[in-house]
Amino acid sequence: MKKLFLFVITILLLTLNGFCQELINEAKISFELPNTYWALTNKKEINDKEVYYYKREPINDSLGRQIIPNISFVVEPIDKKIDVITFSAIKRGQVSFDVIKVLTNEDGFFKLKNAIGYKGTYTDKFGEHTVYVIHTINNKKGVQIIFDVLSELFKEMDTEFLYSMKTLQVVK
């Protein structure tokens, strides 16, 4: 009976882990969604970019609005001469946010070697947002990975964001 119970638990854990594993095929990068509240809601091509949208089930802010945290991957072809620092500088020039902290794989935020990340804020019509933005290059593609939520809900979402960030990895 004990062996059967352990077998069932093992199968259940393997199934749940596999359910949450995601692949960004064009860039050969995988990651895990933090839990079953998250799902890929859309993948589309915009100009020469592939964009993946992962959304979480809504959570309420202090005004009672249902806020949907999101994780997005923007994958685009880049010139093979561009390094990750140059790619990041180009992308930061196109999308403005205030940098709070620079993140690297040496800090333990993520395992990707050819990457640089930022924790930052920006404001839109809904209020201030806190974001993690990671720029990386893999498989001859430039990738922007964006974790985004209203700042007042960031503390609640930070554990989920960090979980997914730490599981980012290159696949063969």
Q: In sequence order, which residues have a C-beta less than 8 Å from that of residue 75 and are 6 or more positions away?
A: 24, 26, 27, 49, 50, 51, 52, 141, 142, 143
Indicate the pTM of the whole model.
Answer: 0.88
Contacts of 41 (CB under 8 A, 6+ apart): 53, 54, 55
CA distance 126 to 130: 12
Rounded CA-CA distance 38/87 in Å is 28
Instruction: For each of the domains in the chain, give its residue range(s) and CATH number, in order of start.
Output: 23-170 (3.40.1000.10)
Round to whole Å and give the CA distance between 31 and 155: 21
At 70, the amino acid letter reads N
pLDDT in tens, the chain (172 residues): 655 444 444 444 444 444 578 999 999 999 999 999 999 999 999 999 999 999 999 999 999 999 999 999 999 999 999 999 999 999 999 988 999 999 999 999 999 999 999 999 999 999 999 999 999 999 999 999 999 999 999 999 999 999 999 999 999 8
Return all residues near 161 (Cβ < 8 A) that are at least 6 apart: 34, 69, 71, 132, 147, 149
Residues 6+ apart with CB under 8 A from 111: 105, 166, 168, 169
